[in-house]
Chain A
């Protein structure tokens, strides 16, 4: 009997204690970040809005290899390859449907030229759904994004106007097959 009574008293005491502890929270600082007034700190590797970058010379990095479109799990990337007179490949159009994009970053991982990159910009709401389809001129920035020194055509073996075979960085001149006689 006494045991039951003490047990019940203990229950009531614990209720009073929890009332007091919750009351003390009145004087704690609020954890809420009041977003539109206070911007959260975004980390540089945050996977947000997708951009297309340029190489240090100011040329488009994208070579329209279609690897990003293949890697995209939701098929939100569409592009068409074309070539300029120098032999550089570039996309004729490059279209991302942001209403489908899930910000997985697979396109950035697949990209061989660091052209497509994800940025910490997360404020992507639009009133009209069609406004969420972005074309190349919307996404192409003037800078190099996260990789400042990389220039694909400077290290690649492909010959373009002004750079022949064997003239890339750390590239040996093309082997003369006829000199390789035993």
Chain B
């Protein structure tokens, strides 16, 4: 029970604690890194290097007035912000961090993660509709449209990985990458998945549901206090989830690059998995700092006219090659 086995209590407590702590730290890290990218210093006042900034933020959010607009649909308004952190944390149950570190190994783990990521869009949609505010409604509409169109080729883009590894289980996919990472045979799939992952987690430059320059704050316009905080934390857990999924699917998960393994396989695995995840988190933040938000019609036409054909082509070629090799 207290050993490193998949599904042991120790694993569950550690993963939950580390994920929640990291999600809080990410808020600080993102603001700090954005500061450096903008030639500023970012928050550096609370605690050493400002690392307790998230604590200060949480204290502020909790002590703020928790206001429900009188014109809002009360039940939906309260439920909507809870959905996104819950489904994102549920998805983390599927991620294999190292041999023997993980919460559950489902043979349909990848499908489960996709389903949960799809459910996360309900948070933005319901929040937008329940607010009964035209900007929130526009944000919710955008979230729904973006989710539907980007979910499609996100699913298609990882089918190449599934074909190569012959498995829907995330642990199976990582184990199949022992001889070589899938980023090389599945480079197009990786690029498409990367774009879709940014869009799925409402990250910049695909933050059109929020779009503070156009529609105030989108679906969370009417939210304040800890309800807004839940949207915020959910978004960061989602970003962490996507940054975990990319190494698992394309960069060999816990496998060390160039044979740089050390210690026992759990320590080495957790280290390399964490290093890869953090690299992608930093990349997401760099993308936020560098790229401009597209127009909504550009977003849609890129999704359907470029990304979907690209991912279908990738799937077709991968399937053909695997079939030829197999025969």
Chain A interface residues toward B at CB < 8 A: 8, 15, 18-19, 21-23, 25-26, 28-32, 34
Contacts of B289 in A (CB 8 A): 22
Task: Return B258 CB to nearest CB of chain A, in Å.
Answer: 23
- The interface residues of chain A lying within 8 Å CB-to-CB of B291 are 15, 18-19
Instruction: Give the Cβ gap from B173 to chain A, nearest Cβ, in Å.
Output: 28
Q: How far is the CA of A21 from the CA of B38 in the complex (A)?
A: 11
In the complex, which of the residues A8, A19, A26 contacts B287, with contact meaning CB atoms closer than 8 Å? Answer: A19
Q: How far apart are the CA atoms of A25 and B33 in the complex, in Å?
A: 10
Q: Mark B28-61, 1 if CB is under 8 A from A, else 0.
A: 0000010111111100000000000000000000
> Is B275 an interface residue, CB under 8 A from the partner?
no
In the complex the two chains form, is B287's CB within 8 Å of A25's CB? no
Asked whether, in the complex, the Cβ of A30 is within 8 Å of the Cβ of B286, the reply is: no
CB<8 Å pairs between A and B, sample of 17:
A15-B290, A15-B291, A18-B290, A19-B287, A19-B290, A19-B291, A21-B290, A22-B290, A23-B37, A25-B38, A26-B37, A30-B35, A30-B40, A30-B41, A31-B40, A32-B41, A34-B41
A29 to B287, CA, bound (A): 21
The digit string for B266-310, where 1 denotes a CB below 8 A from any CB of A, is 000000000000000000001101110000000000000010000
A26 to B42, CA, bound (A): 12
**With A19-B286, A19-B287 as given contacts, are A26 and B40 in contact (CB-CB < 8 Å)?**
no
Give every chain B residue within 8 A of A8 (Cβ-Cβ). 306
CB distance from A4 to the nearest CB of B (A): 11
Instruction: Report the count of interface residues on B (CB-CB < 8 A).
Output: 14
In the bound complex, CA of A29 to CA of B286 (Å): 17
Nearest residue (CB) in B for A24 is: B37
Q: Given contacts A15-B291, A22-B290, are A30 and B37 in contact (CB under 8 A)?
A: no
4 tightest A-B contacts by CB?
A22-B290, A19-B290, A32-B41, A31-B39
Q: B41: which A residues are within 8 A, CB to CB? A: 30, 32, 34
CB-CB nearest in chain A for B292: A18
Cα A15 to Cα B41 with chains together (Å): 25
Interface residues of B, Cβ cutoff 8 Å to A: 33, 35-41, 286-287, 289-291, 306
Q: How far is the CA of A17 from the CA of B41 in the complex (A)?
A: 24
**In the complex, which of the residues A18, A21, A23, A28 contacts B39, with contact meaning CB atoms closer than 8 Å?**
A28
Q: A21 vs B35: C-alpha distance in the bound complex, in angstroms?
A: 15
**CB atoms of B290 and A26 under 8 A apart:** no
Sample of 17 more A-B contacts, CB < 8 Å, known A29-B39, A31-B40: A18-B291, A19-B286, A19-B287, A19-B290, A21-B290, A22-B289, A22-B290, A23-B37, A23-B290, A26-B33, A26-B36, A26-B37, A28-B39, A30-B39, A30-B40, A32-B39, A32-B41
- The answer to whether A23 and B40 have CB atoms under 8 Å apart is no
Nearest to B36 among chain A residues (CB) is A26
Nearest B residue to A15 via CB reads B291
Residues of B within 8 A of A26 (CB): 33, 36-37
Whole-angstrom CA separation of A15 from B290 in the bound complex: 8
Q: Which residue of A lies closest to B35 (CB)?
A: A30
A146 to B37, CA, bound (A): 43
CA distance A23 to B282 in the complex (A): 10
**Whole-angstrom CA separation of A23 from B36 in the bound complex:** 9
Closest chain-B Cβ to A37's Cβ sits at a distance in Å of 11
Cα–Cα, bound, A18→B36 (Å): 15
Shortest Cβ distance from residue B168 to the other chain A in the assembled complex, whole angstroms: 31
User: B289 — nearest CB in chain A belongs to which residue?
Assistant: A22
A30, B41: Cα distance in complex, Å = 6
* Chain A nearest CB, measured from B248 CB (Å): 24
> Per a CB cutoff under 8 Å, which of A15, A21, A25, A34 touches B36?
A25
Query: When chains A and B are docked, how far (Å) is the Cα of A15 from the Cα of B38?
Result: 17
Give the residue name and chain of the B residue nearest to A26 (CB).
B36
Q: How far is the CA of A140 from the CA of B306 in the complex (A)?
A: 74
Q: How far is the CB of B287 from chain A (nearest CB, A)?
A: 7
Question: Separation in Å of the B36 CB from the closest CB of chain A?
Answer: 5
A56 to B289, CA, bound (A): 58
A contact residues around B33 at 8 Å (CB): 26
Alpha-carbon distance between A32 and B45 when the two chains are bound, in angstroms: 14
A25 to B40: give the CA distance in the assembly, Å: 10
| A23 CA / B37 CA spacing, docked (Å) | 7
Q: Identify which of B36, B290, B306 contacts A30 (C-beta below 8 A).
A: B36
Q: How close is B298's CB to chain A, nearest CB, in angstroms?
A: 10
CA distance A73 to B227 in the complex (A): 46
Q: Max chain A CB contacts within 10 Å: which of B33, B35, B39, B306?
A: B39
A28 to B37, CA, bound (A): 9
